[in-house]
Amino acid sequence: MTLTPRRLFAVCAAALLALSGAVVAAAPAGAQAGVATMTNIRTGLNTGFDRIVLDMTGPAPQASYQWVDELIADGSGDVVWLTGEYFVAVTTTPARAHDDNGNRTYPGPDKFRTRNLRNVMAVAVTGDFEGYVSIGLGTRYKSWVRVFTLTAPTRVVIDVGH
């Protein structure tokens, strides 16, 4: 058998895994390798800020935000009407909120009020389209925003000052 560079690499990688005792687990049913899947949205009031947490499975996605004049639904381009004077659009990628069969993995409502928070008045899922999950926030006023990811378990955290 001739060892091409590709075969040699595969043999070396398999040997290293065997020597390290690493266990390679299969992805859960309905999971797409390399894509975070949203399973829940939680909110909480903290000293000085409101927190929205997107619970996810899989690897942590990239997350970003921007203040916008109106929230737009991914795919359709329709305006998403949401309670608030100002709006924050949060985008995560690669991410999804459905399984391989197209079934929703986030069982909650697409829009909900957040009466327990000081600045964030409402949250909406504005998109689950082509590897992006988008979330919109309606706020009472503009303030600082911080978006970051955590792992073990995977979460996207959105903090909005009040």
pLDDT digits (tens, 9 = 90+) for 36-93: 999 999 999 999 999 999 999 999 999 999 999 999 999 899 999 999 999 999 999 9
User: Can you spell out the DSSP letters for 91-158?
Assistant: EEESEESB-TTS-BS--S-SEEE-TT-SSEEEEEEEEEETTEEEEEEEESS---EEEEEETTTEEEEE
Evaluate whether 106 touches 39 at the Cβ level (below 8 Å).
yes
Residues 6 or more apart from 162 whose CB is under 8 A from it?
Answer: 48, 49, 50, 117, 118, 119, 143
- Give how many domains the chain has, as a whole number: 1
Residue scoring higher pLDDT (5 or 36): 36
Domain that holds residue 63: 32-161
Average pLDDT, the chain: 86
Residues 6 or more apart from 13 whose CB is under 8 A from it?
Answer: none
Q: Percentage of residues in the chain with pLDDT exceeding 90? A: 78
Give residue 114's pLDDT. Answer: 97
Give residue 24's pLDDT. Answer: 35
Give residue 6's pLDDT. Answer: 44
Residues comprising the chain, all counted: 162
- Over residues 98-126, mean pLDDT: 97
Strand order in the sheet with 111-113: 62-68, 86-93, 132-139, 120-129, 111-113
Give residue 5's pLDDT. Answer: 45
The enclosing domain of 87 has a CATH number of 2.60.40.3500
How far is the C-alpha of 93 from the C-alpha of 55, rounded, in Å?
14
- Over residues 18-36, mean pLDDT: 51
- Over residues 120-135, mean pLDDT: 97
> Which of the four pLDDT bands, split at 50, 70 and 90, describes residue 18?
very low
Residue 5 maps to a domain = no
Residue 113 maps to a domain = yes
Evaluate whether 33 touches 25 at the Cβ level (below 8 Å).
no
Evaluate whether 119 touches 9 at the Cβ level (below 8 Å).
no
pLDDT higher than 70, residue 14: no
> Which of the four pLDDT bands, split at 50, 70 and 90, describes residue 17?
very low
Give residue 75's pLDDT. Answer: 85
Residue 11 maps to a domain = no
Residue 1 maps to a domain = no
- Over residues 120-126, mean pLDDT: 98
Give residue 12's pLDDT. Answer: 45
Residue 80 maps to a domain = yes
Q: How many CB atoms lie within 10 A of CB 44?
A: 12
Residue 38 maps to a domain = yes
